[in-house]
Every structure is written in C-alpha cells, then in structure tokens.
Structure 1
Amino acid sequence: MSLYELVVEPFVSYGFMRRALIGCVALSLGSVPLGVLLIIRRMSLMGDAMAHAILPGAAVAFLFAGLSLWTMTIGGVVAGLTVALLAGLVSRMTPLREDASFAAFYLISLGLGVLLVSTRGSNVDIMHVLFGTVLALDDGSILLIAIVTSLTINVLAIIYRLLVAECFNPDFLRNVGGAGRAVHLVFLTLVVLNLVSGFQALGTLMVVGIMMLPAAAARFWSETIPGQFIVGVVIGIGSSLAGLLVSYHAHLPSSPAIILGAGTAYAISVLVGPRGSFLSQALHLPHLQR
C-alpha cells in the first residue's frame, strides 16, 4: 500500500472522512488552548466535570426534540453554565473547594443525564451521546464547531493578559480593581461552549480528551503559554488525523481512536519531551529545564 493510499485517499474518496477531519481540526484550534489554561490554573479535572455537566441539558433536549443539533446544544449550554454557577456558589458559601463542588455536580449530572436518555432512547442513542459519531458530522455540526472555535480564539485574544494574570495571581485583579470574577466566568463559558460543540462529534466522555491530553503533552515541549498553545494544537490535529486513519484502515471506532492517539502523544511526551520528561531528567539536561 502506497503512502497516498494510506494517508490521502481516505479523505479524497469519502466526504464523511473530510468532514470528520475538519471538525476535529476546528475542535483542536478552540479547545486545546483552553486545556492549557485549565492545567495552568490546576483545574484539569474541571474539564471532565464540565463535560458531564452538559449531559442532563442535552438529555432533556433529546427527550423533546430527538437528536436535534441546535436544541441539544442550547440544552447543554444551559446545563453546563448552571452547574458552573452552582459549583462556584457552593465553593464560595461553604468550606467545600471548587474542585470538590464540580466533582459532586459532575457525578449527579452524569447519572441524571444517562437516566433521562434511557427513559426514551435506545442503547444506540446513549452511545451516541456518550461517545459521539465523528464520522457522521454534518454541515450543521461543523458550522457549530466553527462558530464556537472562532468565538473562542477572538475572546481569548481580547482577555488573554487578564486571563493569564488571573491564572497566576487571582487576588491581583481584585486588588487593582480588575474584573477577576468576570474573567473567570467568561473562561468557564468558553469551556462549556467548546465541550458542547465537541460532544456532537466525540461525545461527552471523549470530548474532554481532545481538550486536555494535547494540552498536557505540550507542557513537556514548551515553557511559554503561547508555545504550549501551538504545540498542543499541533498534537491535537495530528492525533485526530492519526486516529481517523487508524479507525478507517483497522475498522475501529473513530472517537476512541482519536483519544488514544492523543494519549499516545502524551505518553511519548512524558518519556522523551525536552522539558521535565523521564529522559531529560535522566540525562540531567539543565539547559533544557530552565
């Protein structure tokens, strides 16, 4: 089998492969930078919690409108933002930390969402919601992902400095009169929007993988935030391409293949990345550790 037949022909011959790749590229451009910021803020598990928080809203929309893209999107956004606000409220009014609040709401949301879908849908519908159907992306799904990605990139460009300052020193913005809480809320909104648009392709259980795994891998290749953005996006796109090709040639489910591709990139980064990997520490390369 030639390189063309192995890599290029599937995307030339089949429209569903092209749409899947376009959707995954757009997802990587929008969600991976958010994953980098989540890691810097030590809120990595919040992405997983928020991915499950959207499930009840999407499930309620499914009960009324079936697998309707825009109805499930609205339901997911409402549910995700509601959980984010409730978790923040609980953490501010009780001794419970924000990550613990998100964990509690995540478990409740997951159980409630699966229960709601199962009351009307079949096992196929539950699998669709949880694991996605990236090879079935239509023009509407790609349009939604593209809109959310464009919004994310532009908003991040506007609030980048405030967001970085809030990441490293949340008290600074409050002390100088800045809108720290507003920036945090905008950031959470972007996370929810990307998770909601992504779950149409990868499902609620998988979408957080494309957000967090490339971002975690990027930490081993660059020390700057913009550098981690670039490396993470490249890893996300490469993982998507590799996962789609493996699923096509080996007849495997596409969403898990994409996430396992990102997981492989993360494992390689942990082992041989130039910054803090097992190899760099074993070789004692201080000039790469700065």
Structure 2
Amino acid sequence: MPDLASMPFIEFGFLRRALVGGLALALSAPPLGVFLMLRRMSLTADVLAHGMLPGVALGFILAGLSVPALAAGGMAAGLLVVLGAGALSRATGGREDASLTALYLVALAAGVALLSWRGSAVELTQVLFGSVLGVDDAALLLMAGTASLTWLFLALAWRPLVLECFDPAFGQAVGARGSAWHLGFLAMLVLNLVAAFAAMGTLMAVGVMMLPAIAARHWAMNVGGIVYAACAIAVLAVLAGLAISFWADMPAGPAIVLAAGGLWATSMLAGPVDGLWARWRRRHLTG
C-alpha cells in the first residue's frame, strides 16, 4: 500500500507534472547556485528573480497565464536588467552591484504595480509564489529544455568557471575568456529562474537554486562534490515540498523553499564540513 507521501503523486497528474518539472530544476539550478556562492554573488539570483517581474507582468497582461508569454517576458526583462546594470556601471563609472540594486528595486515595484492593476489577487499570488496547477506541458518542456541546456553549458564552461572562482588572474593569462563565459553564465541563470517560476513563482524561484547550494558546502570540500550534494538536497526539497504543498494546502513555491530551508538547517547543524556539531566535536577532542 503506498505511503502518505507517495499517494498524491500516484493519484494526481498535475502533481506528477510538477514533480517532473521540479526534479529537472533540481538538477540544473543548484550547480549555478554553487558558482554564485563561490564567487560571492549569492544575492545576484534574488536580484534577477525580482528583475524579471515586469516582463512576467507584461506577458500576463498580453496573454494571461500563458507559460510561453510569461517565460518570454521574464527572460527579456532579466537579460535587460543584467545588461543594463553592466552598461550603466561602465557609462557612469559606478559599481555594477549598485546599478543592479537600483534596477531590480524599480523593476520589482513596476512588476507588482502592473500585476495589481490588471490581475486579481489570486493571479497575483500565483505569479509571485507559483502553483502546481501552472505546470502544464509547455512548462514541462521549458524546464526540461532548460536543464538540458544548462548541463551542456556547464560541460563546456566548467573549467573557465572554476578558474574564475579561484584564480581569475591565471584564467585571464591563459586566455580563458572569462567575460564571455560570465555572460553565458548569467544567461543560464536568467533562463533557470524563468523556468522555475511556473511552479514556484518569481519570488520563490531563487530558493531552489541557492539554499541547496549553501547547504551543500557542509557535505563536500571540492567543487564537484558540492555540486552533487546540492543537486541531491534540491531533489529531496522538491519531493518533500510538493508533498507538504498537497497535504497542507499551501503554494508549492513556499513549501519547496521551506523544505530546502529545513535541509540547510540540518546541514548546518550536522554536516561533516564546518557543521556546528563537527566543529564542536573537533574543539572538544582537541581541547
């Protein structure tokens, strides 16, 4: 007899679609989160997720809750924020993170205003926080295609990205073309955030990318090991979060992020690499 956790996925097709899409994201988004963490850019994903909102809102106004329209609008807005921040920082001589902050704050306010103007409270909540009902065939194709494209990009860009994290001067000296790979990395970042919003919403999409990556550093010491651990943690978070979403009748996005947060807390407490228990035990044995 199936247990309580697996019954919803057996009985309901929309939950199976959400599970397949969530697993695709769990295998593609966390590796990007690991590189953001290693480059001390963890908040960049959150900035881009907020920056996509005006494009998502315009897509909703023009075509309703159509995944292709919402995805196209979010992708265009995310890329505009990334490229606009770089262009503004070069034109004014200011810092790129300051330009990103200014753009994402304006974009967030504009997106919420547009959604409030033309949508109901239910539609606003669905766009911001996601809905398992939003994972249709088009969303599944977007998530699966994003995962495939992300891993293809990582297969080509792995060495340059690792070099840029740990020794950018050496990478530049050997002609690694760090700026080109950086732009490609940002494009993959935006694409993954766009793919995640159907099930998780624009405000929660970053959770499945960053929380598993942050938790994984407590389970491995090399980049490859951290990436594998991040993907495993994300898969567990998706499984647990969708089950919680069904049984507790709450939006899928917050449920998955809460599950990922619980796994992060567990990793921080019990992880063998700089976990609180491991650090206390080392001090106790050497003290």
TM range (shorter): over 0.9
Equivalent of 2:166, from 168, 177, 183? 168
C-alpha displacement at 1:123, in angstroms? 1.4
- The residue that corresponds to 2:18 in the other structure is 20
C-alpha displacement at 1:177, in angstroms? 3.0
Amino acid at match of 1:263: G
- The residue that corresponds to 1:36 in the other structure is 34
C-alpha displacement at 1:278, in angstroms? 1.2
- The residue that corresponds to 2:263 in the other structure is 265
Contact 1:34 1:191 in 2 (8 A): yes
- The residue that corresponds to 1:254 in the other structure is 252
Q: Normalising by structure 1, report the TM-score.
A: 0.93
Contact 1:135 1:254 in 2 (8 A): no
- The residue that corresponds to 2:6 in the other structure is 8
Equivalent of 1:231, from 229, 232, 238? 229
CA distance in 2, matches of 1:135, 1:265: 25
Gaps of 5+ in 1: none
- The residue that corresponds to 1:220 in the other structure is 218
- The residue that corresponds to 2:179 in the other structure is 181
C-alpha displacement at 1:207, in angstroms? 0.4
CA distance in 2, matches of 1:235, 1:39: 16
C-alpha displacement at 1:55, in angstroms? 0.8
- The residue that corresponds to 1:103 in the other structure is 101
Q: Normalising by structure 2, report the TM-score.
A: 0.94
Are the structure 2 counterparts of residues 127 and 250 from structure 1 closer, same or farther at C-alpha, using a change threshold of 3 Å? closer
Q: How does 1:65-76 map to 2 (within 5 A)?
A: 65-76=63-74
C-alpha displacement at 1:76, in angstroms? 1.0
Contact 1:213 1:262 in 2 (8 A): yes
Contact 1:221 1:231 in 2 (8 A): yes
Instruction: Give the % identical residues.
Output: 49
- The residue that corresponds to 1:84 in the other structure is 82
Contact 1:19 1:135 in 2 (8 A): no
Contact 2:129 2:251 in 1 (8 A): no
- The residue that corresponds to 1:148 in the other structure is 146
Gaps of 5+ in 2: none
The size of the alignment, in residue pairs, is 285
Query: Could you report, residue by residue, the CA deviation over 1:121-161 in whole angstroms, capped at 9, with x for unpaired residues?
Result: 11122111110112431111111100011000011101110
- The residue that corresponds to 2:49 in the other structure is 51
C-alpha displacement at 1:43, in angstroms? 0.3
C-alpha displacement at 1:95, in angstroms? 4.8
Are the structure 2 counterparts of residues 280 and 57 from structure 1 closer, same or farther at C-alpha, using a change threshold of 3 Å? same
Query: Could you report, residue by residue, the CA deviation over 1:227-274 in whole angstroms, capped at 9, with x for unpaired residues?
Result: 111111111110111111122223333221111000000011111111
Amino acid at match of 2:201: G
Kindly report the root-mean-square deviation, in angstroms, between the aligned alpha carbons of the 2 structures. Answer: 1.8
Equivalent of 1:126, from 113, 124, 127? 124
- The residue that corresponds to 2:201 in the other structure is 203
Amino acid at match of 2:242: L
Amino acid at match of 2:79: L
Would you identify which runs of 4 or more consecutive aligned residues in structure 1 move more than 6 Å?
none
CA distance in 2, matches of 1:100, 1:269: 32
SS in 2 for 1:7: coil
